[in-house]
Structure 1
């Protein structure tokens, strides 16, 4: 075999660290980007916040409104009733001292640094709108903010304090209360709870399970009715049992009592019969009239499947939009919009001038390696700021192109949405489809019609009689409109919806209608039919 040398010219794409970081920042959400900035500020000494005011935590503002649940103050196991009462009295006294101290002091936001949280100037040169919520907070009593919400555990613990129980029973009841989930269910078995406390097999385990069984009976008699149930079926049974007892005490009519007992028999059967609204099967199993079974199902539907629902402090995931769209009115017959990056999401960071100047002025020949390492960190800081700038520039360009393509949506709503795919925006801006996909994921746009993810404005098209295309988003909106105006006694089937779309000139098969309906979380016609 003859050996030889040859030259070959080839090209390949090498992802530099700067490009890798740019791609990674582009696909991050607003929250993830904020976390990334915080991490970079901790790691790189050449980065600093472009805001000289102190953080909220330094003044305790972030934790001033925190609600301390009563269940957190109560010990899990009460060794004696005297000790338990002392704990409650001490916790209440501490709470009163805290609230009185807060309410007695005049709130003074002047000079505390919190007003500086609205950006002065940022690295991007964007003027942030000043927040004027401090004036409202001054008019609100801090004690009122703390007492706005009561947890399910706190509500149950307060009722448990009124019961005259032995220390052991009180401890068991308190423990079960803390084991409830947000819906008010006790999902773990009593044996598992006992083993979780370290009870060994034998008499110790049996005794603890017996103690928990008694405590669960007490728990299920507390308000709200149905709390402490292990399943939905048991929860409904508890509520019906309570209603029957109230009906007997109040001397209700025999017809109403018969209805409640029929509800009990229906709830004792498999719940999928009710879910399918299998009236004929329920009539056979309960040996009751069809009209009475329908009335019973209506009554069961009014029961609360999640007793702890009203106590859950739902922290709404407030979506912070990345882009703001504001109408400017019509210019030359065409609607014009202002598209801008939300100033609230712009990271306010900059290169630390003092450290950068010190590095430039200090060149120690004896420590060339250390100087090179610090120079590298300075370059990383500059890259980071540049990549963040590029991220928001790309988001703004893509958002502007989307608004330009979907002007009819911003003027007339969902029914006017046009078909749009990633390739169209990518070709217009000279970017790759993967870049558009990263930009439109977990990025939100605030519009006069609401806040939407950028991906919402993209959708495939369905053929029309005129030879054009209708956006799948517009078709979904049309299906929702048809169902909203249907008769409750005669709901529209998927075939009927498909025919109605054809009358509108949109070719949409029954299976496609079913897929869109399920995507809108609308049940089938048989489940939408009024009983």
Structure 2
């Protein structure tokens, strides 16, 4: 049975203004500049002035920001409510309050130059091919990925040619065209596996005993070579350690990703602009916010005067009322945007300042072993803000330090207790693990069990599986693949 009833429920929702402010906080410097430019274009009641070079003072030194460094100029409050409808509200207050990162528009420049695929197609013109072979070759070239490989089975390619290109052929013909594609530059392009890629490059080299041995090893013992079973290779090919070392050196000079060297011409061009700068001045840390985050903006005096003129006029037509409602809406929007920029600047500075003081030892020395354990909650409690706000600042902002430009979120890490009962950062443990692997005997690299024992001896009692996890995060292979002769 259906029935209707009334239920009262309390719930918390973010206002549109709060959502817009969070979006502004999330933006890095370059994206923020674009957002300001967009607002200036859309709102004629908003004017910009000269760029500010003022800096914030350090509140952690119990110093307040000076009032004369205020970067926002606002006009006096406008009181014309008697002429406006109670229903009149600025457009930014009626915008949807549900959004995600995917909603943000992203405009990224691309480098100029011909594509990798076009570069390969141009080379095909130097071959004598019949119409069918030409179409198959162009299809194969179009299937080459960024690394320079064609990662598809020949049978699948035959089927695709029939269904998508209306070309009915067989595997033998496709294999024949594959050999032509393998003659293209860069050497190794069009390979279907790493083994084939290396063989294509070796076969283009001058036929010396070393190259012939390398080809033999790649053709008949590729798996043993890739897994570094060196003793088995020495026994199988009846060679010395020196000869094997020469083969390894020969193969290590080949390019495992032949498309990588060319694809850089068409990759996305990304420029990192630091949002903050930390310097060591007179033995103390000095934090500054990038001046591009602090544009000078003010409410248009012209629009303000138009509203005042309306208020002082004796006769008010409906057309004038409609115009003043538009003006009031734009003025409200302009004043809100100015205030949002001020809050953004303050939030960014306060958050980064707290991070800087939490990681004081690191910023003074640059040694990653001095990084303290730090999670979002630690900073949120220090600055009395929500964890989500700290996350928005940390995830997309960079800081220029004396030791290079760093992504702020890299300073965050979990903690663990060492044998002295002290809380240490997992970043510190990873650094010591990395140093231990660098110092190992490469002829007998340390297994994860042995690395766990080494770390325990240094005061970090962690399990073997934790060592394996940290090693993988550092992109370091297992002991067998680190072995050298």
TM, length-normalised to structure 2: 0.71
**How many residues get paired?**
413
CA shift in 2, pair 1:165/1:423, >3 Å: closer
Counterpart residue number, 2:411: 457
1:95-117 Cα offsets, whole Å, 9 max, x none, are xxxxxxxxxxxxxxxxxxxxxxx
The question of 1:265 aligning with 2:226 is answered no
Report the alpha carbon displacement of residue 443 of structure 1 after superposing the two structures with TM.
1.4
Counterpart residue number, 1:242: 204
CA shift in 2, pair 1:235/1:347, >3 Å: farther
Distance in 1 of aligned mates of 2:327 and 2:144: 53
Distance in 2 of aligned mates of 1:437 and 1:120: 27
Aligned counterparts, 1:446-525, within 5 A: 446-525=400-479
Counterpart residue number, 1:228: 190
Distance in 1 of aligned mates of 2:369 and 2:478: 23
The question of 1:303 aligning with 2:303 is answered no
Any idea what SS the aligned residue of 1:507 has?
A: coil
1:104-149 Cα offsets, whole Å, 9 max, x none, are xxxxxxxxxxxxxxx58799749xxxxxxxxxxxxxxxxxxxx998
Aligned counterparts, 1:151-190, within 5 A: 152=116, 156=120, 159-160=123-124, 162-163=126-127, 177=141, 180-187=144-151, 190=157
Aligned counterparts, 1:259-298, within 5 A: 259-267=214-222, 274-278=225-229, 288-289=237-238
Report the alpha carbon displacement of residue 396 of structure 1 after superposing the two structures with TM.
0.6
Report the alpha carbon displacement of residue 30 of structure 1 after superposing the two structures with TM.
3.7
Higher relative contact order (CA 8 A, sep 6+): 2
Counterpart residue number, 1:101: none
CA contact (8 A) 1:419 1:471 kept: yes
CA contact (8 A) 2:303 2:331 kept: no
CA contact (8 A) 2:52 2:295 kept: no
Counterpart residue number, 2:92: none
Report the alpha carbon displacement of residue 366 of structure 1 after superposing the two structures with TM.
0.6
CA shift in 2, pair 1:266/1:17, >3 Å: same
Counterpart residue number, 1:46: 45
CA shift in 2, pair 1:167/1:442, >3 Å: same
CA contact (8 A) 2:52 2:291 kept: no
Report the alpha carbon displacement of residue 394 of structure 1 after superposing the two structures with TM.
0.8
Aligned counterparts, 1:424-435, within 5 A: 424-435=378-389
Distance in 2 of aligned mates of 1:258 and 1:15: 69
1:404-456 Cα offsets, whole Å, 9 max, x none, are 12111012211111222333322222222232222222111111112222222
CA contact (8 A) 1:441 1:455 kept: yes
For 2:180, which of 203, 218, 224 is the aligned residue? 218
Distance in 2 of aligned mates of 1:160 and 1:506: 59
Report the alpha carbon displacement of residue 327 of structure 1 after superposing the two structures with TM.
0.8
Q: What's the RMSD between the two structures over aligned residues?
A: 3.9
Higher mean Cα deviation, 222-231 or 445-454?
A: 222-231
Any idea what SS the aligned residue of 1:424 has?
A: helix
Any idea what SS the aligned residue of 2:221 has?
A: helix
Any idea what SS the aligned residue of 1:397 has?
A: helix
CA contact (8 A) 1:462 1:507 kept: no
Report the alpha carbon displacement of residue 222 of structure 1 after superposing the two structures with TM.
2.5
Aligned counterparts, 1:72-91, within 5 A: none
Counterpart residue number, 2:165: 199
Distance in 2 of aligned mates of 1:439 and 1:256: 54
Any idea what SS the aligned residue of 1:441 has?
A: helix
Give structure 2 stretches of 5+ with no counterpart. 1-7, 55-68, 73-110
Report the alpha carbon displacement of residue 48 of structure 1 after superposing the two structures with TM.
5.0
Report the alpha carbon displacement of residue 323 of structure 1 after superposing the two structures with TM.
0.8
Report the alpha carbon displacement of residue 371 of structure 1 after superposing the two structures with TM.
3.2
1:312-349 Cα offsets, whole Å, 9 max, x none, are 3255633211111111022xxxxx11101112444565
Any idea what SS the aligned residue of 1:338 has?
A: strand
For 1:341, which of 286, 289, 292 is the aligned residue? 289
Report the alpha carbon displacement of residue 210 of structure 1 after superposing the two structures with TM.
8.8
Report the alpha carbon displacement of residue 521 of structure 1 after superposing the two structures with TM.
0.9
Report the alpha carbon displacement of residue 265 of structure 1 after superposing the two structures with TM.
2.1
CA contact (8 A) 2:71 2:296 kept: no
